[in-house]
Structure 1
Amino acid sequence: MNIEKRVKELVEEKIADRPDLFLVDVKMHSNGKLIILVDGDKGIGISDCVAISRHVGFHLEEESVIETAYNLEVSSPGIDTPLTLLRQYAKNINRDLAIKMADGTKREGKLSSITEDAILIEEKIKEKGKKAEVIESVIPINQITETKVLISFK
């Protein structure tokens, strides 16, 4: 039985009545650490993480899905975790993003909107000897290899 697949089913089952919550990732590491990343359109609270952890833990024990000792961790993706779902982009509209493109280039800009297959960012373009110009750029999702939210301490 695929552990990650079963855990995904259990999480989806637990959050089925919470349309604001969504599963980001499930990873079973070889060191016995089972990590579940869940997020919400308006964030996710500790009590939600605890409830998901209890639900998943209970069923994994009942079904003897994992035969060795394991550590179950349920949390929201950290600020340094790259965005992977369109729904995560939606949460971060008006935030600055650092984007790695498939061609190796890097881009930065403020996320202004998203569509099903692209994001729209406001990029500052500075040409030598000219004032910086803000332009809107459409970036197809399939050309992005990694996106991280830039944290500003201003």
Structure 2
Amino acid sequence: MRVGTDKIIESIQDYAAPLAADRGLELVDVQFRREGHGWVLRIFIDREEGVTIDDCAGVSRAISAWLDVEDLIEYAYHLEVSSPGLERPLKKREDFERFCGRKARIKLQEPLDGQLVFTGILERVEDDLVVLVVDDQSVSLHFADIAKARLAL
């Protein structure tokens, strides 16, 4: 069955999110892209106290077995399951709330006052805004305007 990459990602998210939750983990992100001479499927999982190699191996085995049955991907690929690392993506409102007080890099879909990328401390989340402190100034960014966000070092 031929399925586009967006549909593959969506199907994997639908399966992997409850799988991760059942193990006390959070599904952070799913990426499927062509790299070099092949395809790579990356699944990022996390929890407050961090993830172990056993967590990654268990999720990898379960997803691999499911993918073998579902046959979503018609070509060879490498499956990688890991933690998102120190610069984890911020995708959901809960991510921004959880990491208030931490440094983040936020890229907007369109420039705000001539600036596309903001790096600063996540101050708070209110209504549909993320408030970031950049150079001692509070900057309010609408969730709908955020193209990409991640923790920064």
Q: Which has the higher helix share?
A: 2
Structure 1, unaligned stretches of length 5 or more?
A: 125-133
Match of 2:98 in 1: 91
Asked if 1:8 is matched to 2:40, the reply is no
Which of 1 and 2 has greater Rg?
A: 1
- Mapped to 1, the partners of 2:54 and 2:98 lie a distance apart of 20
- Mapped to 2, the partners of 1:73 and 1:148 lie a distance apart of 20
Structure 2, unaligned stretches of length 5 or more?
A: none
Shift of residue 53, structure 1, vs aligned partner? 0.7
Q: Which has the higher strand share?
A: 2
Length-normalised TM-score, structure 2: 0.72
- Mapped to 2, the partners of 1:42 and 1:118 lie a distance apart of 27
CA 5–141 in structure 1, closer or farther in 2 if over 3 Å, else same: closer
SS of alignment partner, residue 107 of structure 1:
strand
Asked if 1:137 is matched to 2:139, the reply is yes
CA 108–35 in structure 1, closer or farther in 2 if over 3 Å, else same: closer
Asked if 1:121 is matched to 2:132, the reply is yes
SS of alignment partner, residue 124 of structure 2:
strand
Q: Is the 8 A contact 1:112 1:122 kept in 2?
A: yes
Q: Is the 8 A contact 2:28 2:89 kept in 1?
A: no
- Mapped to 2, the partners of 1:76 and 1:88 lie a distance apart of 15
Q: Which amino acid aligns with 2:143?
A: I
Q: Is the 8 A contact 2:20 2:45 kept in 1?
A: no
Aligned CA RMSD, in angstroms, stands at: 2.6
Shift of residue 82, structure 1, vs aligned partner? 4.3
Identity of aligned residues (%): 29
CA 15–100 in structure 1, closer or farther in 2 if over 3 Å, else same: closer
Match of 2:25 in 1: 21
Please give the residue correspondences for 1:62-81 in structure 2 after superposition, counting only pairs within 5 Å. Answer: 62-80=69-87
